[in-house]
Amino acid sequence: MSEPPHAESRSDAELVRANRGFYESLWAQAKLIAPERFNTWPLLHELADAAPRRLEVAPGLRPRLPLRGTCFVDLSHAALRRLHDSGAEAVHGMIGALPCADASFDLVCALDILEHVADDDGALAELARVAAPGASVLLSVPLHPAAWTAFDDFVGHCRRYEPAQIAVRLARHGFIIESSAVYGMQPKSSRLLELGQWYLTHRRERAMWWYNRVFMPLGLRFQKPLRWRDGLGDTDGVDELLLRCRYRPAATPSH
């Protein structure tokens, strides 16, 4: 898989520091948005209703599974406090070392996280460890390394995935892609992106005022409906995919 050269040298510790430095301050000034307000809700709420044991990893303040009855794991103490205040069960941890028992969840959700982790194979192995056989596993991945932009650098990505390789990569860990949906949104205007980055870096309080009161409400209002399609579907021009997988662990050899 081709990756940006700078991303290959980033250790897990460096990624944790970079993401904690960006997202901790981001969540400290942001508001929690209920999962029902996202365009993922029509696709996910029935899955959640059918799964009594649910885990969502690294939701920040944008959880996609129901607050009640879901275990949330996040690095951000600011996000954990807001989740607790909303009645959710939330514990401190990271995707590479989940504070959860083996085979303990029927639904596992990890959106917008694999691209941030240096050892994504280790992260997938952890998701496989905590998923019960037959569990539904929801992942999102950005596609096409050639589509790398300054936005990827700014938010702490260390890779984009080749569509032809993602199914094979997931299958190695027992995750079989059943369906996908075109997902995610990246700024189209480089000028607007540069302006947003400058304000978040140098005028964070002002930037967060606009984000919370203007840009996020507008983004929620104009979300496009999502629709499942079989397998990966057509990935030409697709920036990011939401993947619905089934966990089928490899049979343990008998002795």
Mind giving me the DSSP string for the chain? ----HHHHT--HHHHHHHHHHHHHHHHHTS----GGGSTTHHHHHHHHHT-SSEEEES-TT---S-STTEEEEES-HHHHHHHHHTT-EEEE-BTTB-SS-TT-EEEEEE-S-GGG-S-HHHHHHHHHHHEEEEEEEEEEEEB-GGG--HHHHHHT----B-HHHHHHHHHTTTEEEEEEEE-----S-HHHHHHHHHHHHH-HHHHHHHIIIIIHHHHHHTPPPP--EESS---TT--EEEEEEEE-PPPPPP-
Domain boundaries, the chain: 5-247
Crossing angle for the helix pair 77-85 and 12-28, to the nearest 10 degrees: 50
Greatest CA separation for the chain:
63
At residue 11, the pLDDT reads 57
> How far is the C-alpha of 38 from the C-alpha of 224, rounded, in Å?
10
Class at the top of the CATH hierarchy for domain 5-247: alpha beta
> How far is the C-alpha of 175 from the C-alpha of 136, rounded, in Å?
9
Within 10 Å of residue 144's Cβ, how many Cβ atoms?
16
Instruction: Please give the chain's pLDDT, 255 residues, in tens.
Output: 334 434 444 555 665 666 566 666 667 777 899 999 999 999 999 999 999 999 999 999 999 999 999 999 998 999 999 999 999 999 999 999 999 999 999 999 999 999 988 899 999 999 999 999 999 999 999 999 998 887 777 677 779 999 988 999 999 999 999 999 998 755 554 565 555 556 566 666 666 666 666 667 677 777 889 999 999 999 999 999 999 999 999 865 444
For residue 148, give Cα distances in angstroms to 67, 195, 207, 221, 253. 33, 18, 24, 27, 41
CB-based burial label for 5 (10 Å; 0-12, 13-18, 19+): exposed
At residue 8, the pLDDT reads 42
At residue 7, the pLDDT reads 45
